[in-house]
Amino acid sequence: MKLTLFGPFQVQSALAPITLSSARRLLAILATRPRHPWPREQLGQMLWPDLPATLTRDRFRTALAQVRAALGDAVDWSGGKTLLCLTPIRLACDLWDAQNTYRLSTLAEDPLPRQNALESLVDLIQPGFLPDHPETLTAERQRWHERLLESLLQLSELAEARADREQALHYAECALECAPYDERIWRTLLQLYAASGRHVEIGQRLGNARQALRKEADADFSSSLRAYAQQVRRQGVSPRLLTLAQESSVNRAFAAMIADAPEEAAAFLGSAS
């Protein structure tokens, strides 16, 4: 049995349908912390924050009954009369997969395993957490949205480090689609476009985004981002935009030259000075 929380709510191979919004939201809350004993009163307040506890008890029992009928013996229930704890037995969940994959992405030291973990994480979480129930678990939703942006920017950085600028731009553009006014993403795009000789194009796009931001929120980008964009427009492609990956490759080349042919290296450095 598989519970899906990223994208449309779904329980594959459920024994009975979960039709109540409250039952879906209850299962989602329990899934964020499996094996955790939740106070039933707290769960009622999370599901019906505007109602007193005396009015939520019957609704809570109805929602829980539907969840239990759907999951059957795929989970174990415990906690007695005051607590509620869900322990998975034969239930999988994409949220748990995402948590494990995120952990792998943070622990991976080598670029390739880190890239693979980040790509898997993006595939899992890009549909968004519980998009059909935006009023539920807002902090959890925001946490995974932020992790999506971080993952896309890290993939862009990894692609640039291996001199794959097209892929670096792809990931940065994907991040911008998720957060059109995020300044970290715009700074990354400014760097990548300038390094590609397309500083005019990205400057125009940023100007359009500023107009849209003023119209939608009566706000503007920070002065530091605007100043950086002006610098990019004035200078275009600058030698100072040499990427870290290129710098590293140059350093490795010099190290190899010094090791293999020290006299040639000395002559080269002497001519450069």
Q: What are phi and psi of 136, to 5 degrees?
A: -105, 135
Q: Which among 114, 88, 71 has a CA at the least distance from the CA of 33?
A: 88
Using the 8-state DSSP alphabet, how is residue 77 labeled? Answer: E
pLDDT at 134 over 70: yes
CA–CA separation, 225 and 186 (whole Å): 8
What's the pLDDT band for 210 if we cut at 50, 70, 90?
Answer: very high
In percent, the amount of the chain with pLDDT more than 70 equals 86
CA–CA separation, 140 and 138 (whole Å): 5
The reported pTM is 0.81
Q: How much is the mean pLDDT over the chain?
A: 88
What's the pLDDT band for 264 if we cut at 50, 70, 90?
Answer: low
